[in-house]
Structure 1
């Protein structure tokens, strides 16, 4: 008899092995800490059986000898290589399994979970067609090895404490072996859970199927991590106990007060799914923490800097030992925050294992799983007893929004709860969620602070806008210029001691404006002009974010009188708690504009019928209108919106679709007419999105009635006048395609209350046509998802969700230094070897973070690994660097620590976006 190993690891000093019986026992031990969260006994029993059977295929000689180096194993063979998980099913007595499961309801779920708990791309070669290697192995086991391998399994499994309960299930399945020998394909025996071209998956996957596979994968992965780290004593930490609800309430109470709106709004709603619509800076985060109700929850945000900020806040409520964080560079963030590498690794791994009761994350860590790539079951099994917070949904593009709504549907069906939070809820998203959830009004509670606090919010005016039409000096979207008088105006605001925020839509334009400001500024102002965008190296960006955001912290002190200017792109748009006095911004869609405005006079916030100034704690009763911009010196407009007459915005449609920009301007014009838009919103809310005539009603009931005056007497490209009669054919399209009407909005000034912002954005989204450019992308993506499309790889799903159009590059001018730092890093690691698990993280910190920067997609770039002249005695370093540098290229564009990546004018690529 030969001992069967489940895992082995070797280094120069130690050899570590884990037997199969030990591993199965560990996985079952892990499941004990999860099964207490499951109410379905049949599901519990099926999962235990799947765990017990999942690694039977490791009995194969080639796996033991070739993969695990179990050189004393018998019988001896290194030729017949078949994935062990696939071969596990050939050791299951199907009839006994049916008896154990009390029928066939869970039979296919268990078999599929066992066969595919480790999915590999090469599985197609074994499951979807006849495979000669598999056929020969099946014949060899029947003719020669069967009894020997059966004895190996029996001897190994006897060491498991509850072996007697399941031992009859483990028997050589000669019937299935013979069926493979006779030409049957493996997917007829075990239905694959992935890939669109497998017919069963074009239909909806059964909830219990997902849960059996997901719990098996989660427990297997966690047990393996504990074994590899020598932390078997932590097997029970797969689910760390959450913080007590009363302790959470108490902690938040000290911050917001017991009568705060969050406590009132959540009264009798803690067990509900919730859609929360509330103004920016209104305390949505505290609401989410309270809604967690002392249960496991995930909190998602669209950008990493917002995740880092929320993570630090969450630790203050839930505790360091109960709060995890996830995003693509979180290992580096944690390493920079902590001195002990072992602590960093533990925090990082426990978050990846989903063990923390509170996990703060970017959306791209979870939402791509709506595309059902391999391993999606693990996340959804965990979500079946968890809560999910989705913050700032308006910040995602329409394709991502479609994927998120599909994710919400799957979450709801699997048994989890969701909280959708936003300052500006797109109507098409809410409508879709209503369609997906039966008995929506019973299952989902809408908490709309705008409606609840309307009589107060319609009296609060923090922002006064001025729309400014600027004549374009060029036909190129890549070479925008801001007139000198506007540069002077920005500088003049800073000279008055104001914090000035300038938000441009492209990196190239932001760099240009920053350089102009620096050239014309003098004295102290010149040293207080900052630039922030996404085309910096990680190191430079982190330093700038920390220092610049600190300079614009919320609230602004009453004693601060030194002017400063922050020039940026959309990276400051959402979730950053900065406080400016005045904003100069390019036009953008209304919801994004409201987010940008939310960075201005953020120190003023509403609570319990009063406006409070955090700078000096002054309180203002709302018995009459409160205009915050008039409380500041001058009372002038504090939001200046630039519209470029022909191109509208730098970057053209690559940044924001023309449809969204033009309709945003049209609605701002409508607001300037001081019509009762609240009544119009009520009318629009009656329109049904599934009405076949929806677009026609939007055109006839809204645009033809409300916007004819805007288009009156405008000229056409043909030079003809367009009167009201022929305008009525399609006002919507005329607004989108014609620019002549823009002259009517130039110099328009608009005072916007907090409530009017809500109405404007709601109308904007509610009156987008379904066949328009923007919503077409959303509905087309939904149609594909509803057809059952699945992603074959997690990386593919992530790229689809992120809509990635950028590459990681090393500027060519830094190649020599880059190579030298790589060699220095290797020398240092070889001289003082340390934690292997953090090797890549240290490489990111010491090397990549200094040189790698994102740039827009460009054809013909050379992989950086091909430009490096690196030779190693140790082949391991060559393998590592091939992997670590696989998606990094060499760029001819110059890099400047002050300005970031600069476009090489010899190349015809688009402006740098965000």
Structure 2
């Protein structure tokens, strides 16, 4: 009879030898990690929650004791399994039932002692526990014909193997087979909200700890730094910052002027908690990450996470080992402070199997949401539902913004989400106690810019021109070029990544927010919405297409950002061009924005005016029957009623952002690259096609991929990719991610150009 410790959980082949780990050892490692975790975050869980998590850790892999799994794993390490006679009988049953393999998570449920559980826990809590064990890997129980294995057939398998298990477990092994009934979270079962809440906590923590143990990590979480101490030592707190510090144990919404110190206030609110700081754009994330890392937080304990984070980490002079280590720990949510896009955390709103780790982590974290007004109606709905879940399981959130649509406040209240919010916005004031004047606006009821005025202003000012679409920005740039201006530049999202990053640095150097770094250089930058919240810049004058109210206020924030404007002439010129009307911006919101801003025309637009403006445009009662609000409510209803496990995890990113992006490379750049002596495309492709990469080649592959992506443009597409040359570069071995080579004109001045009749581009 083999010993209990001989039952294996896994094996790995390394340098022609085998590393194995027993189920018993693996389980003990999980318990050790969980105990270490509790020294940091026990207070965020109830005693029942902690006990349920611990039971799941003890039970989740016991199903691997089944003779079939053990025979397979022993054969993989070239050893004989000692129960061939018994295994043969089981094989007959598998064949009779037409079953290939039952996932071990399902079999593990047989080890739940339901009699004991019923003495301590409610029926809903037991269902949540069994569901967490059942689904701790997202493998479906399918027969050889691809249909779901019935509960009765799984029960037969367990009953056959029970006699095998009982040799190693005492008579307490009594199971009602709850774990293989239909009452677990799976595609055809829609549990109550209370069951799902318990389930995501248990399964999320089980997965988080199991991943760490499987990777032989020494910890689940890195102990937090306390950024609030550095903030307190450097600043005399203003009203906004005092409010955030005083309400550090509550969910809060803070509306405050640009330049008032909301970021520092957020750090005071977060204090020493595990923290996630979310922003809508990657450029904003990198900037805030650098700011916090360089001024307030231990650089070894802070990270950033977005779709290109591994490439940006490679740019930070880290060794490849450090990059991979940091990226993997970032993906596991192990860092105490993470700056990221909202989608990196909120995929769980689709209730997909494998996303439970996110809400479970947010339960004991603080979440900062910056610039909430920047999201589409659908994403706003997803955020509201996510905040409801976070609120209901005990997490904390802070929404901070210069412009807060009142409809969001109303929807939070309707969904019973607790929060504190001051009756008035925090306005930046001068020494006399009056709000700082920064913007004097002028509305121009014309569909074209006044180019003569723009050029004249550029003689002694830093002038920013913002267009609603890339195409319009290219047209405006070409017209202004005809004036023979020496200092004129263009920035939008359709430059190759290498040149876009260079331009982002150039615009920050041209119009820095830091007054000590400003030089007496004048000229024009033409851009799009990408400068609204992503770059820390400060221009003297703005000429812009009319947009939605929230977007317009963000644009104004790029002018006289932290300076007083004391002249009696406009420095903000708004043109009703209708560019992007109905495509980039919702028609109703656009119309309401242009209607309400007229009352502020040709005068100083105060910080109080801005709050009144946004409140009028997004008034809940007036928008109640609008398509804009109906989109939010419909998305919120759909996500609330969504059945858990009905959507695959891989679909979440596309569903969350409605992403229809492709990565393209202009044919002219492709030809330049392949004709060079050191052909980066061939070098990369050869590395990608190596069957088993050693460490050295893997490092080379990552660097080459990063280098290659510098010559690409991420774009939105129509359903079919047109102008496609037929040439592709695979970005992974399974060919699911590619660079498409397109026959579109590209130049360093204008970027990727649109073609009217055969376009792949959307604004």
CA distance 1:769–1:603, change in 2 (3 Å)? closer
Equivalent in 747, 755, 765 of residue 608 of structure 2: 755
Q: In the alignment, which of 220, 226, 232 is matched to residue 238 of structure 1?
A: 220
Does the CA contact (< 8 Å) of 2:102 and 2:141 recur in 1?
Answer: no
Decide whether the 8 Å contact of 2:142 with 2:149 is kept in 1. Answer: no
Q: Does 1:274 align with 2:135?
A: no
Q: What is the CA-CA distance between 1:413 and the residue it aligns to?
A: 0.3
Q: Which whole-Å CA distance do the structure 1 matches of 2:105 and 2:212 have between them?
A: 17
Q: CA deviation at 1:368?
A: 2.8
Q: Are the aligned partners of 1:341 and 1:838 in contact in 2 as well (CA < 8 Å)? A: yes
Task: Say whether 1:50 aligns with 2:67.
Answer: no
| Secondary structure class of the residue paired with 1:199 | coil
Q: Confirm whether residue 661 of structure 1 aligns to residue 590 of structure 2.
A: yes
Give the equivalent residue in structure 2 for 1:797.
Answer: 652
| Residues 1:42 and 1:254: Cα distance change in structure 2 (over 3 Å) | closer
Alpha-carbon deviation of 1:898? 3.2
Distance 1:126 1:297 in 2: 46
Would you say the 8 A contact 1:464–1:751 is kept in 2?
yes
What is the Cα deviation at residue 209 of structure 1? 2.7
Cα gap change, 1:147 to 1:253, in 2 (>3 Å):
same
Q: How does 1:269-668 map to 2 (within 5 A)?
A: 269-315=247-293, 316-437=295-416, 440=418, 444-446=420-422, 448-450=424-426, 459-471=435-447, 482=448, 486-496=450-460, 498-522=461-485, 525=486, 528-556=487-515, 560-604=519-563, 628-630=565-567, 636-644=569-577, 648-649=578-579, 651-668=580-597
Question: 1: CA distance between counterparts of 2:524 and 2:274?
Answer: 42
Q: How does 1:839-854 map to 2 (within 5 A)?
A: 841-854=702-715
Q: Which residue of 2 aligns with 1:907?
A: 758
Residue 261, structure 1, aligned to residue 239, structure 2: yes
Tell me, yes or no, if structure 1 residue 808 matches structure 2 residue 737: no
Superposed, which structure 2 residues align to 1:31-70 within 5 Å? 31-36=34-39, 37-38=41-42, 39-60=45-66, 63-64=69-70, 69-70=76-77
- From the superposition, tell whether residues 282 and 815 of structure 1 become closer, same or farther in structure 2 (CA, over 3 Å): same
Determine which structure has more spread, i.e. the larger CA radius of gyration: 1
Whole-angstrom CA distance in 1 between matches of 2:278 and 2:29: 31
Gaps of 5+ in 1: 155-166, 177-185, 472-481, 605-626, 673-748, 871-877
Hey, what does 1:704 align to over in structure 2?
A: none
Alignment match, 1:200: 191
TM-score (norm: length of structure 2): 0.87
- Whether the aligned pair in 1 keeps the contact of 2:239 and 2:426 (CA below 8 Å) is no
Deviations 1:721-767 (A, max 9, x none): xxxxxxxxxxxxxxxxxxxxxxxxxxxx2321121111111111116
The Cα of 1:293 is off from its aligned counterpart by: 2.1
Are the aligned partners of 1:458 and 1:754 in contact in 2 as well (CA < 8 Å)? no
C-alpha distance 168-529 of structure 1, shift in aligned 2 (>3 A): farther
Pair 1:495–1:47, CA change in 2 (3 A): same
Match of 2:181 among 183, 189, 202: 189
* Alpha-carbon separation, structure 2, partners of 1:146 and 1:369: 36
User: How far apart, in 1, do the equivalents of 2:458 and 2:428 lie?
Assistant: 38
The 3-state SS of whatever aligns with 1:495 is: coil
Alignment-derived partner of residue 834 in structure 1: 695
The answer on whether the counterparts of 1:501 and 1:567 sit within 8 Å (CA) in structure 2 is: yes
Q: Which of 629, 635, 641 in structure 2 is aligned with 1:775?
A: 629
Aligned to 1:664, the other structure's residue is in SS state helix
Q: Does 1:894 align with 2:749?
A: no
Q: Distance in 2 between matches of 1:837 and 1:25?
A: 33
- Write 1 or 2 for the structure with the bigger share of helix: 1
1:463: how far off?
Answer: 1.0
Structure 2 equivalent of residue 728 of structure 1: none
Equivalent residue, structure 2, for 1:81: 101
Seen in structure 2, the aligned counterparts of structure 1 residues 371 and 541 have a Cα distance that, compared at 3 Å, is same
| Deviation digits for residues 39-67 of structure 1 (CA, Å, limit 9, x no counterpart) | 42222222111111101222345545657
Structure 1 match to 2:21: 18
- Measured in 1, the distance between the counterparts of 2:66 and 2:377 equals 48
Aligned length: 734
Note the alpha carbon deviations across 1:367-426, whole angstroms, 9 max, x for none: 232222223321212222221111110000111111111111111100011111111111
Matched residue SS, 2:594 = helix
Q: Distance in 2 between the 1:450 and 1:103 partners?
A: 46
Q: Which residue of 2 aligns with 1:8?
A: 11
What's the TM-score, normalizing by structure 1?
A: 0.74
Secondary structure at the counterpart of residue 503 of structure 2: helix
* C-alpha contact 1:111 1:190 (8 A) present in aligned 2: no
RMSD (Å) for aligned C-alpha atoms: 3.4
- 2:496/2:712 contact within 8 Å kept: yes
CA distance in 1, matches of 2:365, 2:326: 20
Unaligned stretches of 5+ residues in structure 2 = 95-99
8 Å CA contact 1:466–1:637 kept in 2: the answer is yes
Residues 685-714 of structure 1: per-residue CA shift (max 9 Å, x gap): xxxxxxxxxxxxxxxxxxxxxxxxxxxxxx
Give runs of aligned pairs for residues 108-119 of structure 1, distance below 5 A.
108-119=127-138
Change in 2 beyond 3 A, CA 1:867/1:343: same
Which whole-Å CA distance do the structure 1 matches of 2:700 and 2:635 have between them?
Answer: 39
Residue 577 of structure 1 aligns to a residue in which SS? coil
C-alpha contact 1:128 1:187 (8 A) present in aligned 2: no
1:558, 1:21 → 2: CA distance?
Answer: 61
Moved more, 653-662 or 789-798: 789-798
CA–CA distance in 1 between the matches of 2:697 and 2:724?
26
Partner SS for 1:565: strand
2:97 matched residue in structure 1: none
Q: Secondary structure at the match of 2:635?
A: helix
What secondary structure, in the 3-state scheme, does the structure 1 residue paired with 2:547 have?
A: coil
* Displacement of 1:306: 0.8
